[in-house]
Amino acid sequence: MTKASLINSKLPRVGTTIFTIMSRLANEHNAINLSQGFPDYGCSKELVALIHKNMLAGNNQYAPMPGLLSLREAISKKMDCAYGKKHDAETEITITAGATQAIFTAISTIVNPGDEVIIFEPAYDCYAPAIELYGGKVVPITLQFPNYTIDWKEVAGLVNTKTRAIIINNPNNPTSGVFDKNDLLQLENIVRNTNIVIISDEVYEHLIFDGAQHQSVAAFKGLAERSFIVFSFGKTYHATGWKIGYCLAPKELMNEFRKIHQFNVFCVNNPIQQALAEYLNKTEDYLTLPNFFQEKRDFFVDKLNGSRFTIYPSKGTYFQLLGYEKISRENDVAFAERLIKEFKVASIPLSVFYDKKEDNKVLRFCFAKKNETLLSAAEILKSI
């Protein structure tokens, strides 16, 4: 027996995530870390005090399996206000350990061996491995560079009787693109009269700029009736380390989702749920997010003025794409590594989000940072 013979890898092609690699490299080289997406400033002190209050009050034991009812009710109210869709708090909402767990559980709920799942590339990294783990086949569709638009005719052409699900991410990480109403109407048309389930990753729902409105699948009847919709409090409350989010789906889908959720996590952090149930009613906190992040985006882009990087439009999320084709012909992973080691700025190369590692010489930079951090990074980037 060798140690290796104990393992028959279910994910032979998978390594460590790019976020882990780049953050580690940034720390090792003392670089400004604009790679992994997380704020470098604090979250609401009031919210932290509420969590603390709940811990002191003794709310430290298991929460109910699907999540605290008061929090689910607050989410239901929020969804109704924002998208005009009523989700039943009892049967259609589950609190999860972040969006990652919600997405993983949704995929495990519906994907059987041989099923096809359409994803759009560049794709956030947690979709494909989960599909493969359950024996599904990933069907990637490439967004058209440089605008990263979707050709819905191509999507319609790839749908067949084996298509089990389509995963969308809007606003989109890593492209920073957002869907307009027409995109969702096209998707609604494609799935009409099929059994296709939609997994809609909407963790950046409030990070949308220039006056655009977030188009949630919740607002489209033909999509909401077949969708798992996923959100993350980590994004909304500048607290990615809390790993708490939620998933919405029609009762029948949610019932199956919970069968898996209960044996995977059972329930998530109780005092944070208690605090969020109260805090979520403060709508001004998340309604001011578009302005807050738009100012950061504009600050960063303004400070990059005159640099040799190509600045792509960022319509949502807290990411800015920069092209370096005028600076170097290196591949994007090598260039991103050199940027850390030689110039002390960390970013994420986009090729890692493609199955075929398509390299358009584009890097992703996170602008959820203090202005002083953004200024220091921009000054370095401008000097290259």
Give the number of residues in contact with ligand PMP, rule: CB under 6 A. 14
Cβ-based nearer residue to ligand PMP, 90 or 355 = 355
- Tokens (6 digits) for 93: 């909402």
| Contact flag: residue 116 with ligand PMP (CB under 6 A) | no
What is the C-alpha to C-alpha distance for residues 346 and 6, in angstroms, rounded to an integer?
A: 37
Site for ligand PMP in 5-44 (CB under 6 A): 37
Q: Which stretch binds ligand PMP (CB under 6 A): 25-33, 42-50, 179-187, 238-246?
A: 238-246
| Contact flag: residue 98 with ligand PMP (CB under 6 A) | yes
C-alpha Rg value of the chain to the nearest Å: 21
User: Binds 169, which of ligand GLN, ligand PMP, none (CB < 5 to 8 A, cut-off by type)?
Assistant: ligand PMP
- Contact status, residue 22 vs residue 365, Cβ threshold 8 Å: no
| Contact flag: residue 173 with ligand GLN (CB under 6 A) | yes
- Contact status, residue 370 vs residue 41, Cβ threshold 8 Å: yes
Q: Torsions phi, psi of 364, nearest 5?
A: -105, 130
DSSP letters along 82-94, please? HHS----TTTSEE
Which residue from 122, 140, 245, 349 is in contact with ligand PMP, where contact means CB under 6 A?
245
Q: Which long-range contacts (CB under 8 A, 24 or more apart) does 297-303 make?
A: 297/209, 297/367, 299/367, 299/371, 299/374, 299/375, 300/365, 300/367, 300/374, 300/377, 300/378, 303/374, 303/375, 303/378, 303/379, 303/382
User: Binds 371, which of ligand PMP, ligand GLN, none (CB < 5 to 8 A, cut-off by type)?
Assistant: none
Cβ-based nearer residue to ligand GLN, 19 or 354 = 19
Q: Which stretch binds ligand PMP (CB under 6 A): 74-82, 93-101, 267-275, 366-374?
A: 93-101
Cβ-based nearer residue to ligand GLN, 171 or 271 = 171
What is the C-alpha to C-alpha distance for residues 179 and 168, in angstroms, rounded to an integer?
A: 10
| Contact flag: residue 307 with ligand PMP (CB under 6 A) | no
User: Which residues make up the interface to ligand PMP (CB under 6 A)?
Assistant: 37, 98-100, 124, 169, 173, 201, 203, 232, 234, 240, 243, 245
